[in-house]
């Protein structure tokens, strides 16, 4: 038993150690000092309150998307369309910011609600395509991501173009009353957004572990056919997972336009949805681990901006480290499954169709 615990601990640390060693070797190969690089990365993330605020501002939407993806992973479903759901949430929030006149607290609440509804609607399309028409969620999600991006560019360069003329850069800046307030000038982070992340984490943790809905999601993710035979409405469970994830992604998109940018921009999601997929690939369906891993990724990215200034190294080095961590964790997960006989559940590309109550599979 004791040896098994040590083996589990070793398999957790192994991917991190391997990733750091390989990254250090790459740094040496380009003629730099690995210790200095890691010191500058740490300094870039924590040298002052402004730097750390940048880390937190990236972590907030990444954490929201990661929490949402935990839900779809629990149901055994990929949600590659999370980027598009962020963009649609940003569009809905931007509409409220530009065209609705309300006192600031009410307007901000409405914008967040609109963003959640927009993300849910876009995620529902992925779910319906998967469950009713047999279009795998990977293909449906990728297509809807592209459509959301094209729609964003159309709005920015067309109906929502700035007063000075057409532009594909951004809309006009939103009114101050429509923007999320920061904590202070030195620490420019939205306390409301942090509160939403914490509330989302608590609600999902309780729901996934201690509610009937959470048990149904897990049963659906394990084996949809067996779950249906046990009386679980598998299609409804899977669709609810998409809706919840879409709501979280939509709110993440709203944060990007209502705080990070202050206007709607093309690709305002910034690849955060795809990075959240890597986070959940690492942690599976553990909500706390999703938040912590998202914070680690945010620190790595925040610190990498210092490398180009201080050491003339490309910040993409952070992406290399992230990719190595993901790859080695996936490899050690396979090793853990062989040695210990257990592994975290993850969706599969060739997942079977969801059966109907009558037994006739869709797709």
Same domain for 244 and 335, yes or no, is: no
355 within a domain of the structure (yes/no): no
Same domain for 113 and 192, yes or no, is: yes
Q: Which residues contact 303 (CB under 8 A, 6 or more apart)?
A: 40, 41, 42, 43, 44, 45, 46, 318
Rounded to 5 degrees, φ, ψ at 361 are -70, 145
Answer whether 307's CB lies under 8 Å from 40's CB: yes
3 within a domain of the structure (yes/no): yes
pLDDT at residue 32 tops 60: yes
Calculate ∠ Cα 259-260-266, nearest 5°. Answer: 115
Same domain for 330 and 270, yes or no, is: no
353 within a domain of the structure (yes/no): no
90 within a domain of the structure (yes/no): yes
pLDDT at residue 52 tops 90: no
What's the pLDDT tens digit per position in 102-146? 999 999 999 999 999 999 999 999 999 988 888 888 889 999 999
Same domain for 206 and 107, yes or no, is: yes
Q: What is the pLDDT of residue 298?
A: 86
Query: Which residues make beta-bridge pairs with 355?
Result: 361
358 within a domain of the structure (yes/no): no
The tokens describing 4, both together, are 């098994």
The domain that holds 174 is classified in CATH as 1.10.3470
pTM of the model: 0.83
The average confidence (pLDDT) of the chain is: 81
Same domain for 171 and 318, yes or no, is: no
273 closest CA partner among 304, 251, 288, 243: 251
Q: Which residues contact 345 (CB under 8 A, 6 or more apart)?
A: 73, 74, 76, 221, 222, 284, 285
Same domain for 107 and 178, yes or no, is: yes
Q: How many domains does the chain have?
A: 2
Pairwise CA distance, residues 145 & 133, whole Å: 19
End-to-end Cα, the chain, rounded Å: 46
Q: Is the alpha carbon torsion for 331, 336, 337, 339 positive or negative? A: positive
Answer whether 15's CB lies under 8 Å from 332's CB: yes
Same domain for 76 and 116, yes or no, is: yes
Q: Which residues contact 209 (CB under 8 A, 6 or more apart)?
A: none
What's the pLDDT tens digit per position in 271-314? 898 889 888 887 888 898 889 888 888 887 776 665 555 555 55
What's the pLDDT tens digit per position in 122-133? 999 999 998 888
Domain extent at residue 18: 1-32+314-344
Same domain for 89 and 187, yes or no, is: yes
Q: Look at 173 and 331; give whichever has higher pLDDT.
A: 173
Same domain for 319 and 305, yes or no, is: no
pLDDT at residue 180 tops 70: yes
Residue 246, Cβ neighbours under 10 Å: how many? 33
204 within a domain of the structure (yes/no): yes
Same domain for 68 and 190, yes or no, is: yes
Same domain for 256 and 334, yes or no, is: no
Same domain for 91 and 151, yes or no, is: yes
């Amino acid at each position: 038993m004791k040896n098994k615990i040590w083996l589990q601990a070793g398999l957790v640390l192994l991917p991190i150690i391997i990733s750091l060693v390989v990254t250090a070797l790459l740094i040496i190969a380009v003629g730099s000092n690995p210790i200095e690089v890691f010191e500058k990365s740490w300094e870039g993330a924590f040298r002052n309150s402004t730097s750390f605020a940048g880390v937190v501002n990236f972590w907030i939407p990444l954490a929201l998307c990661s929490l949402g993806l935990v839900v779809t992973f629990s149901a055994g479903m990929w949600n590659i369309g999370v980027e598009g759901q962020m963009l649609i949430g940003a569009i809905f929030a931007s509409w409220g910011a530009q065209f609705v006149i309300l006192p600031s607290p009410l307007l901000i609440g409405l914008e967040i609600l609109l963003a959640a509804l927009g993300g849910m609607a876009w995620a529902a399309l992925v779910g319906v395509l998967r469950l009713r028409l047999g279009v795998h969620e990977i293909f449906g999600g990728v297509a809807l991501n592209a459509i959301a991006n094209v729609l964003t560019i159309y709005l920015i360069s067309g109906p929502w173009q700035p007063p000075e003329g057409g532009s594909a850069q951004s809309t006009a800046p939103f009114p101050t009353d429509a923007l999320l307030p920061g904590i202070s000038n030195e620490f420019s982070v939205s306390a409301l957004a942090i509160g939403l992340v914490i509330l989302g984490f608590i609600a999902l943790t309780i729901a996934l572990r201690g509610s009937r809905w959470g048990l149904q999601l897990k049963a659906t993710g394990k084996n949809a056919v067996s779950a249906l035979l046990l009386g679980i409405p598998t299609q409804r469970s899977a669709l609810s997972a998409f809706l919840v994830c879409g709501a979280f992604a939509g709110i993440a998109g709203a944060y990007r336009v209502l705080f990070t940018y202050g206007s709607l921009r093309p690709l305002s999601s910034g690849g955060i949805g795809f990075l959240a997929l890597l986070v959940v690939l690492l942690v599976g369906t553990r909500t706390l681990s999703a938040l912590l891993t998202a914070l680690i990724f945010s620190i790595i990215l925040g610190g990498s901006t210092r490398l180009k200034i201080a050491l003339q190294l490309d910040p993409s080095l952070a992406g290399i480290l992230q990719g190595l961590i993901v790859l080695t964790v996936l490899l050690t997960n396979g090793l853990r499954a062989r040695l210990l006989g257990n592994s975290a559940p993850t969706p599969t590309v060739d997942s079977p169709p969801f059966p109907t109550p009558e037994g006739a599979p869709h797709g």
